Amino acid sequence: MSRHETSGHEAKRELFDAFASVAKVLSSGRRAEIVDILAQGERPVDDISREIDQTIANTSQHLQQLLRAGLVKSRRDGTRIYYSLSGTAVSRLWAAVRDVAAEHVAKLDELATSYLGDRSALTTMTRTEVYERIGSGDLVVIDVRPEAEFRAGHIAGATSVTLKELEKWLDELPNDRLIVAYCRGPYCVFADNAVRTLSRHGFKAARLEEGYPEWKEAGLPVEAKTDLPGHDRAS
Amino acid sequence: MSRHETSGHEAKRELFDAFASVAKVLSSGRRAEIVDILAQGERPVDDISREIDQTIANTSQHLQQLLRAGLVKSRRDGTRIYYSLSGTAVSRLWAAVRDVAAEHVAKLDELATSYLGDRSALTTMTRTEVYERIGSGDLVVIDVRPEAEFRAGHIAGATSVTLKELEKWLDELPNDRLIVAYCRGPYCVFADNAVRTLSRHGFKAARLEEGYPEWKEAGLPVEAKTDLPGHDRAS
DNA sequence: CGAGTATTCAACTATCTACTTGAATACGGC
DNA sequence: GCCGTATTCAAGTAGATAGTTGAATACTCG
């Protein structure tokens, strides 16, 4: 069974290697974490390295791999270099990876529970439920992601309340309205913890089932930092 | 910057490693080819090994990796073992990978042209265009994939005409109706070649923009082999 | 211009991966 | 039960990959 014979086979191999190169760049857990973070909006290198708990040098190298593969782009602003996903197709790919894992990876539930804790006691709401009630005013939406992500873009009308600030805010939050917390996506801990804390203090609280990227992708209203044009440096 | 410290970080690492394991299994061009084939329907090992031009042993090992990751399932029928995708989420993931590659991988156009040839002269039709005209009878739809794939499932009303058979069929095909050829997906050569051959012989011919998996995923009418239940062996 | 900070580069190591080869196992038909 | 075919297993090798460390580059601010 000889390989490398006809140019047709060779060309097919190369084409599918190119498809595979896209998957390959997502085949490291650390790069997956990076994509999950960048799905929230652009971030500088040192910020990302802290989030994924890796050295700056290592984080930088992961980012270059993502750059070379075309999944992210970078722009310089003064001394900092901001990375961001190169398009919504990348967000959709990341969601597709999570979907397959959720459906077909045997031990995923176990790993998710080990990271997120028991979710059975938490009330959840879908995008549409939140969107429909957000106008009526009987709902308070809080964004519990790191502030940088809130600044890069958030659900229209949401307030930034990080977990550290949450304790201080307990006096100011309304007792008579439902508080909906959201964060990065279906496997993000922040919202879970916020809802647990709020429930413990007697508030009515729920978690948005998914996160900001899915809300934005669905075309629901957001408030986003306008990307400064002309500074981009594509892959 | 110490790693492996809090159990929270450890659990997050493991969760994202699990997501990454899904991408990892698609990070080989040969496994990507396998998924592209299995998206058409179930196939036995030796069949797949011929398609991807690899030894049976190597193909088997790739299939086990896909199996372990949960992307495919297998069932035994006598002496043969048939592999198939474990769900539609996997098809969607494969499509998402191709989309990202098409949009963001720099040299993809070049590789695609090198494999498929110049497509600028080929007429293409979308799913909906074909579906709307398929009933009116002024259209002949031919399936130019290997016959095994046609047998596993095809567009309702399509006829199987492999490239080898095409020359013989030239007398029987109608001169007054548009002939639409389709195959595996947007990067499949068979339909391109069929349309070129037909055009050269004076037929009106067009290529369906995408392939059978996308048609099926869109919920359009298909004729598929009913999956024998009770014989499945999940991941 | 010089100091300070953010990021990238380069060299190195331990581990993993794809593919090969040859043998082992599992089933169907006689 | 034995033979032929389909598939898997096991061992080996060349090449790739993630992470470390320390130095180099690129920009800002005084």
Task: Mark whether B143 and B185 lie in a shared domain.
Answer: yes
Task: Mark whether B87 and B128 lie in a shared domain.
Answer: no
Q: Is residue B228 part of a domain?
A: no
A20 contacts in B (CB within 8 Å)?
26-29, 31-32
What's the number of domains chain B is made of? 2
Question: For residue B5, what pLDDT band results from cuts at 50, 70 and 90?
Answer: very low
A18 contacts in B (CB within 8 Å)?
29, 101, 105, 107-108, 111
* C-beta separation of B126 from B207 below 8 A: no
Query: Which residue in B8, B26, B108 is closest to A20 by CB distance?
Result: B26
Q: Is residue B127 part of a domain?
A: yes
**β-pairing verdict for A178-182 and A80-85:** unpaired
Task: Mark whether A149 and A78 lie in a shared domain.
Answer: no
Q: Is residue B101 part of a domain?
A: no
Look up A188 and say whether it is catalytic: no
Q: Could you tell me if A234 lies within 8 Å of chain B, comparing CB atoms?
A: no
CATH number of the domain bearing residue B193:
3.40.250.10
Q: Is residue A109 part of a domain?
A: no
Q: Which of residues 9-48 of B touch A (CB under 8 A)?
A: 9, 11-24, 26-33, 36
Q: Is residue A61 part of a domain?
A: yes
Query: Which residue, B60, B91, B122, sits at the end of a domain?
Result: B91
Regions of chain A where pLDDT drops below 50: 1-5, 228-235
Residue in B closest to A86 by C-alpha:
B104
Q: State the number of CA atoms in the 13 A half-sphere of B53 facing the CB.
A: 13
- Quick one: pLDDT at residue A175? 87
pLDDT tens sequence across B102-150: 999 999 999 999 999 999 999 999 999 999 998 888 899 999 999 999 9
Task: Mark whether A23 and A80 lie in a shared domain.
Answer: yes
What's the CA gap between B32 and B38, in Å, rounded? 10
CA B48 to C1' C14, whole Å:
35
Q: Is residue B102 part of a domain?
A: no
What's the CA gap between A10 and A3, in Å, rounded? 9
Q: State the number of CA atoms in the 13 A half-sphere of B40 facing the CB.
A: 26
Query: Which residue in B97, B103, B115 is closest to A87 by CB distance?
Result: B103
A217's tokens: 């992708």
Domain around A17: 7-91
What's the CA gap between A100 and B14, in Å, rounded? 16
Query: Which residue in B22, B33, B105 is closest to A105 by CB distance?
Result: B22
Task: Mark whether B156 and B189 lie in a shared domain.
Answer: yes
- Quick one: pLDDT at residue A235? 34
Task: Mark whether B38 and B130 lie in a shared domain.
Answer: no
DSSP string, A67-112: HHHTSEEEEEETTEEEEEES-HHHHHHHHHHHHHHHHH-TTHHHHH
Query: Which residue in A27, A36, A187 is closest to B23 by CB distance?
Result: A27
Nucleotide nearest residue B74, measured CA to C1': D7
- Quick one: pLDDT at residue B235? 34
Task: Mark whether A84 and A122 lie in a shared domain.
Answer: no
- Quick one: pLDDT at residue A233? 36
- Quick one: pLDDT at residue B1? 36
Average pLDDT on B172-179 reads 91
pLDDT tens sequence across B78-112: 999 999 999 999 999 999 999 999 999 999 999 99
Task: Mark whether A152 and A208 lie in a shared domain.
Answer: yes
Task: Mark whether B157 and B207 lie in a shared domain.
Answer: yes
pLDDT tens sequence across B59-72: 999 999 999 999 99
- Backbone φ and ψ for B192, nearest 5 degrees, come out as -55, -50
Query: Using the 8-state DSSP alphabet, how is residue A53 labeled?
Result: T
Give Dmax (Cα) for chain A: 74
Contact A111 B18 (CB under 8 A): yes
- Backbone φ and ψ for A179, nearest 5 degrees, come out as -100, 120
What's the CA gap between B219 and B156, in Å, rounded? 12
CA A20 to C1' C11, whole Å:
28
To which residue do tokens 């004729």 refer? B223
- Quick one: pLDDT at residue B226? 66
Q: Chain C: nucleotides under 7 Å from a protein CB?
A: 4-10, 17-23, 26-29
CA B10 to C1' C8, whole Å:
28
Q: Is residue A29 part of a domain?
A: yes
Residue in B closest to A31 by C-alpha:
B20
Task: Mark whether B165 and B79 lie in a shared domain.
Answer: no
Q: Is residue A103 part of a domain?
A: no
CATH number of the domain bearing residue A55:
1.10.10.10
CA B15 to C1' D14, whole Å:
32
- Quick one: pLDDT at residue B227? 52
Contact B97 A19 (CB under 8 A): yes
Task: Mark whether A131 and A213 lie in a shared domain.
Answer: yes
* C-beta separation of A157 from A142 below 8 A: no
Task: Mark whether A54 and A152 lie in a shared domain.
Answer: no
Report the gap between the CA of B87 and the closest CA in chain A (Å). Answer: 8
Average pLDDT on B160-185 reads 93
